[in-house]
Structure 1
Amino acid sequence: MLTPAPAAVSSDARAVETASRQFLLSLKKDCHLLVAVSGGGDSIGLLTALDEMRLASGRDDVRLSAATVDHGLRPAAAEEAAWVATFCARRGIAHRTLRWEGEKPGSGLMAAARNARYRLLCDEAGRIGADAIVLAHTMEDQAETLAMRRARNGTALASGMAGRTLIAATSWAVRPFLRIRREAIRDFLEARGLAWIDDPSNDDTRFERVRMRQMVRNRVEALADEAEDAARARVALSLGAAALFAEAVTLHDGLVAEIDAGRLADDHAPARYLLNVLVSALGGLAYGPGGAALDRVSALCSAPHGARMTTGRCLFEKHRHSLFILREARELSEAEVAPGDSAVWDGRFRIENRACEPLHIRPAGAGAESLCDAAGLPRRLARLAGAVRPVLPAVADISAAPFLAPFDRFLPGFDLALANTLAEAFARPAYPDPASAYLR
């Protein structure tokens, strides 16, 4: 329902103006922003503040567009999107409603909705030529995220939201309100007599975030401070992992990583971070195994020649002073790619079919020709690596490019250097830098 705005004014509302002004002043000339607006207080406050501060800060060259995602999960969602459209029209801001079409999954609905939301926003940014997507996540969102990730994964790699995240390797999503309290945004709106929409799901304790919100209510600022510390630590860890990759890893044909086992033992924290990313990339899963599985992989570095294990869809094998990692020859599916379409196969390759006929993709299998001897791999591993490649016709209108599962969907800004180190090793283009995308 719509929440009427009382007349009370709080000085905390100035924090909203300050954060918006600082963000706008950081942008390149003629920057075009796509603002994600649900109709809730946070996003209405973000759009309003950016619109007002464009003029107040002398950045009227910055252009705003808005989009509302209708997930089709609540009957009221279409009405709420229409209300946002009217709000935007009154301010002269272009708006579009993006609908998540098709069947919804029976399990993992919230994660699927999140992925759909970001995909739709990314597509819209590309359609209108926006330089960045702007999201209204607040200090409360930051605190809840850090607390949830710690509860799931422990404290070693847990961090909050990144100030910017690259979506689908194309569009940067920026969060300028991560140091702003939700109450300050409401105060900002109330001072202007503006209303917003309260989403009833924000009070539904069936959702993990709502339960966590209640638990961290009195620790928001402390957790937000810890999230900033964790982000700095994550940047340092990621840079250490990138340096370790350059010094200790050889990538064979984009299929097998050969790692100096001694170096992994010497650089424990960066090594675990790097291993997690490599397993994700070579196994084609969005996340590495983490936790106890990484402990077992680390222990394998000190194991005798021939020791092996599997985790994260990868085989790990010790050969003399090296640890080899490659995709296991199991759960390799077949797929069809329609003419003019593209698809990600096995989470590891993006296949482009520019031909006029459907393309059938299958794994090479055990009888396939192994990698060339010059690759420098043990013969057995060369055969295994050859078996997990996709079989494609050798024609110009069909291509396969490496798909880096840990980064090609969502790349938090603190991992950009590591992601580009891997991109270079896998012989694929670098990820776009925010400095050239939307910053001065």
Structure 2
Amino acid sequence: MQLTSASAATAAPDGGLASRVFDRLDARLEVGLDLPVALALSGGGDSMALLDLAAIWARRRGRRLLAITVDHGLNPDSARWNSLAEQAARARGADWRGVRWDGPRPSSGLPAAARTARHALIADVARAAGARVVLFAHTQSDVAEADWMRARGSSLGRVRAWSPSPAWPQGRGLMLLRPLLSESRDGVRTYLRERDLGWVEDPGNADDHYARSRARRDLTARGEGAALTPALRPIRGPAPTVSSTGVVRVSRAASGRTLAVAAVCAGGGSRPPRGERLARLLVRLAAGEDFTAAMCGARIEAVGPVVTLLREAGEFARHPPGSPVAPSGPVSGAVLVWDGRFELSGLPAGTRVAAAAGRQAQLSPADRDRLGRLPAAVRPTVPVLIREGSPAPLLAGQAGRVRSLVGQRLALALDETTREADLADAPHGASTPDLLFSD
């Protein structure tokens, strides 16, 4: 571990790296908004540089900055690192929150599990504070390392400058912004030294047990890592449409990226499809074949020019979602997420959320009529409410407020938003037309 000076230069930087980062922040974020911008702060060099830059930008633009540090509990020095991160954040006028990962440690795939937990914890804190955007300090060097790992079989996803939080459902409605993504790690370290800023060197970065460390060592030895990942293919064909029950329709000519994202959103999960599985479906679509398939918890029906994606009832039955219960006491602000597809609020205390499957005959005639208007494959997978002291279930939307999350999630994933301002009309959830069964 290396700790450099913790003092910060007093003069605000202009030009060079600072100017480029300020321009990227200005292009995405609002000015003078009374909501914080969140920032993932590990204490490492990249995040400490971004903290310094973002704090200067926030002061100039009238925004609050919230730095969030996750302690994975994987290093005995982590408490000291957290203290350094807190001191650095508060010295720059930012608020700070520290959270700890206390979940089980897998016997294999620890970096991936830690990364997933980190995103979820950061999303929870950011949403609770009212933030819409979280800044991450990934650089061009991180992109090159991820490309190196993918070339050797890793399923690590590609990072983009502006993308939705990968944590689901914790990160719903949150966007990630990476203003250092086109900068090199060496350039960021130069900025830190010029500003006399301190950072932590995690010894895990040199541990060859981890693929990321091997990638960093190999690319450094070869002097590589400057090339950014090629841009993703643009969306082809008409824009997808989404119903209030989370049924997605896309063109048969849609790109693989669109099909993959649509399947993840319709299925309510967070794991993207395997490349070979997606490739086989694209071949069948290109050949004009009509078929039914399943992927990512979604049922895929290709008929003529349209591909319909909805929750797969068979997968739904094999792995049923949990049954969240509205808490006792004041519940006006309580929000429940069910099956990764619906957000429920304003429910009476003690109300349990369950699937319509197996309960359709118990619904009232009016609710059975509402349900009967839906496609048969959709009916078992919509939520019903089980109320305390009432034997009959109630179709969700007849008590409290229920909205589909699929529409907004798909819009964010397909780059239909470009700025923080685009999130203002529907923070942390689907937009008003996505209300379920709002007669």
**Count of residues in correspondence between the two structures:** 384
Counterpart AA for 2:49: G
Q: Does 1:2 align with 2:6?
A: no
Aligned to 1:112: 113
Could you give the per-residue CA deviations for residues 365-412 of structure 1, whole angstroms, max 9, x where no partner exists?
49766986766xxxxxx433323333334375444432339947x955
Q: Which among 158, 161, 164 is matched to residue 163 of structure 1?
A: 161
Compare the two structures and name the one with the higher helix fraction: 1
Instruction: Report SS of the residue matched to 1:69.
Output: strand
Structure 1's 366 and 207: CA in aligned 2 closer, same or farther, altered over 3 A? farther
Q: Which among 24, 30, 44 is matched to residue 32 of structure 2?
A: 30
Could you give the per-residue CA deviations for residues 341-375 of structure 1, whole angstroms, max 9, x where no partner exists?
54433333334473221515135149766986766
1:244-259 residue pairs with structure 2 within 5 A?
244-245=239-240, 254=245, 256=247
Q: Does 1:97 align with 2:95?
A: no
Give, in whole Å, the separation in 1 of the partners of 2:66 and 2:52: 12
Give, in whole Å, the separation in 1 of the partners of 2:432 and 2:314: 29
Give the conservation status (yes or no) of the 8 Å contact 2:140–2:184.
yes
Aligned to 1:333: 320
Counterpart AA for 1:39: G
Give, in whole Å, the separation in 2 of the partners of 1:320 and 1:68: 50
Give, in whole Å, the separation in 1 of the partners of 2:93 and 2:280: 58
1:21-420 residue pairs with structure 2 within 5 A?
21-23=22-24, 26=27, 27-30=29-32, 32-51=36-55, 59=60, 61-106=62-107, 108-130=109-131, 132-149=133-150, 151-152=152-153, 160-167=158-165, 168-217=171-220, 218=222, 220-224=224-228, 227=229, 230-231=230-231, 233-234=232-233, 237-238=234-235, 240-241=236-237, 243-245=238-240, 254=245, 256=247, 264=252, 267=253, 270-298=254-282, 300-301=284-285, 307-317=291-301, 324-326=308-310, 327-330=312-315, 331-340=318-327, 341-352=334-345, 354-365=347-358, 382-392=375-385, 393-394=393-394, 396-404=398-406, 407=409, 411=412, 414=415, 416=417
Deviation at 1:61, TM superposition (A): 3.4
Give, in whole Å, the separation in 2 of the partners of 1:356 and 1:113: 34
Deviation at 1:200, TM superposition (A): 1.3
Instruction: Report SS of the residue matched to 2:42.
Output: coil
Give the conservation status (yes or no) of the 8 Å contact 2:313–2:380.
no
Give the conservation status (yes or no) of the 8 Å contact 2:246–2:341.
no
Could you give the per-residue CA deviations for residues 189-232 of structure 1, whole angstroms, max 9, x where no partner exists?
223433321111111222232222234334645422xx2xx33x
Give, in whole Å, the separation in 2 of the partners of 1:53 and 1:317: 48
Instruction: Report SS of the residue matched to 1:39.
Output: coil
Give, in whole Å, the separation in 2 of the partners of 1:130 and 1:257: 28
Aligned to 1:9: none
Give the conservation status (yes or no) of the 8 Å contact 1:100–1:116.
yes
Give the conservation status (yes or no) of the 8 Å contact 2:292–2:299.
yes
Counterpart AA for 1:293: R
Structure 1's 316 and 88: CA in aligned 2 closer, same or farther, altered over 3 A? closer
Deviation at 1:337, TM superposition (A): 1.5
Aligned to 2:388: none
Deviation at 1:429, TM superposition (A): 0.9
Deviation at 1:174, TM superposition (A): 1.8
% same residue: 25
Counterpart AA for 1:388: T
| Structure 1 residue runs without a partner (length 5+) | 6-12, 376-381, 432-440
TM-score, with length taken from structure 2? 0.71
Structure 1's 194 and 367: CA in aligned 2 closer, same or farther, altered over 3 A? closer
Instruction: Report SS of the residue matched to 2:191.
Output: helix
Give the conservation status (yes or no) of the 8 Å contact 1:329–1:384.
no
TM-score, with length taken from structure 1? 0.71
Instruction: Report SS of the residue matched to 1:329.
Output: helix
Counterpart AA for 2:137: A
Structure 1's 122 and 23: CA in aligned 2 closer, same or farther, altered over 3 A? same
Give the conservation status (yes or no) of the 8 Å contact 2:141–2:226.
no
Instruction: Report SS of the residue matched to 1:202.
Output: helix
Q: Greater CA deviation, 46-55 or 136-145?
A: 46-55
Deviation at 1:81, TM superposition (A): 0.7
Instruction: Report SS of the residue matched to 1:87.
Output: helix
